[in-house]
Structure 1
């Protein structure tokens, strides 16, 4: 790998290659690999800061196996709250929402340009993972951090599936990446001419509603997930994958 040379040794014979612990490790590896394979092009960008000694995919595998794969035996699964689809030294955002309306996912966040190395020209990176179909859609070159809003087109047959949304940022020169965050997803059904409420920047005192009234119509909100920012965002520190 990148001018490094290796000597292969013949693997030692294992008396019992299918012990419960070995099977569990293989199950965890397969679970992490299956998830990351579905978003591999995104991972190449999301973990590009860690390609000096390994590939971006291997860096993502290392983190996911240690931090985001949970359970044992037949209960091995991905903890999507712990997943990082991108990781790096760029300041992330700490407040945001994702709203699914029909075949679109609307992302909103609070602009924190000027905090640490966050710039208003940082580029938003959007990803929506379909937990039921085990596939994803994403856009790595969408709105700026200062825009506070972006949207992502979804396949037409995703409306009844459980979707998981992640938001990250890349610096304008492409050299630094932010840790992704999982956004709370709300599902609504609103006519196209009434969706302006979804495209407004997220206010500083924003609280996720349980319902929204608009033009006399009650719109029910379904909460699929949540992201809790740290109590003091000044204490945020970058932690590389182990």
Structure 2
């Protein structure tokens, strides 16, 4: 409740309806109470929150990898936030409330280094995923000494296996061991490269889905 200090024409202190009165350095003032936005629930805000959660669930298991893969875009924001912004804008698909990730449109690494040539992935051996690619050293800024970056993402268990600084581009292959508890789960696989001094990375390439055996 507000209190009038100098009669009906004077200033007041406290709250009257949606107005707050007070005094600062002998000057009476009034201001309106701002609308509460502590928990906005408009349709657009709920929709955006759902997209945000979808992207977050995908990227959280990849946090350490994203710090490498999106470091070039960590300008006035963290690498993770840059990856979140990219994912929400380009890889979240569907209609509210049924949003999901379009893995073919997602990036887990983003940069100007030349990427992988003709990469493939297979799971012919139990508890192992095999990646291969063609050595394209000398193409663009690709060098034989570039190191492979790999992601094996398990959406069922919200877990990811990652390789940072793996085999060289010239070697053409890398295997990733997977835990037995992944057997029967669909695994989504990505490949990228990082140069030897870790100053540049390539855009990632989505290789498709394999089922762990």
TM range (shorter): 0.7 to 0.9
Cα distance in structure 1, aligned partners of 2:79 and 2:38: 34
Give the conservation status (yes or no) of the 8 Å contact 1:124–1:143. Answer: yes
1:131 positional shift: 1.8
Cα distance in structure 2, aligned partners of 1:187 and 1:23: 34
Give the conservation status (yes or no) of the 8 Å contact 1:171–1:177. Answer: yes
Q: Which residue of 1 aligns with 2:104?
A: 81
Cα distance in structure 1, aligned partners of 2:48 and 2:206: 26
Q: Which residue of 2 aligns with 1:173?
A: 197
Q: Match of 1:76, SS?
A: strand
Cα distance in structure 2, aligned partners of 1:16 and 1:141: 43
Q: Which protein is bigger by CA-based radius of gyration? A: 2
Give the conservation status (yes or no) of the 8 Å contact 2:186–2:210. Answer: no
The question of 1:132 aligning with 2:156 is answered yes
The question of 1:38 aligning with 2:61 is answered yes
Q: Match of 1:38, SS?
A: helix
Task: Using CA pairs under 8 Å that are at least 6 residues apart, name the structure with larger relative contact order, 1 or 2.
Answer: 1
Give the conservation status (yes or no) of the 8 Å contact 1:98–1:105. Answer: yes
Provide the TM-score with structure 1 as the length reference.
0.70
Tell me the alpha carbon deviations over residues 133-170 of structure 1, each in whole angstroms, 9 at most, x when there is no partner: 11101110210001000011101111200100111100
Q: Match of 2:105, SS?
A: coil
Give the conservation status (yes or no) of the 8 Å contact 2:186–2:211. Answer: no
Q: Match of 1:39, SS?
A: helix
Cα distance in structure 1, aligned partners of 2:80 and 2:168: 26
Q: Which residue of 1 aligns with 2:83?
A: 60
Q: Which residue of 1 aligns with 2:130?
A: 106
**Over the residues paired in the alignment, what is the CA RMSD in angstroms?**
2.1
Runs (4+) of structure 1 exceeding 6 A deviation are none
Distance 1:153 1:120, change over 3 A: same
Q: Which residue of 2 aligns with 1:235?
A: none
1:94 positional shift: 3.5
Aligned residues: 180
Cα distance in structure 1, aligned partners of 2:211 and 2:182: 12
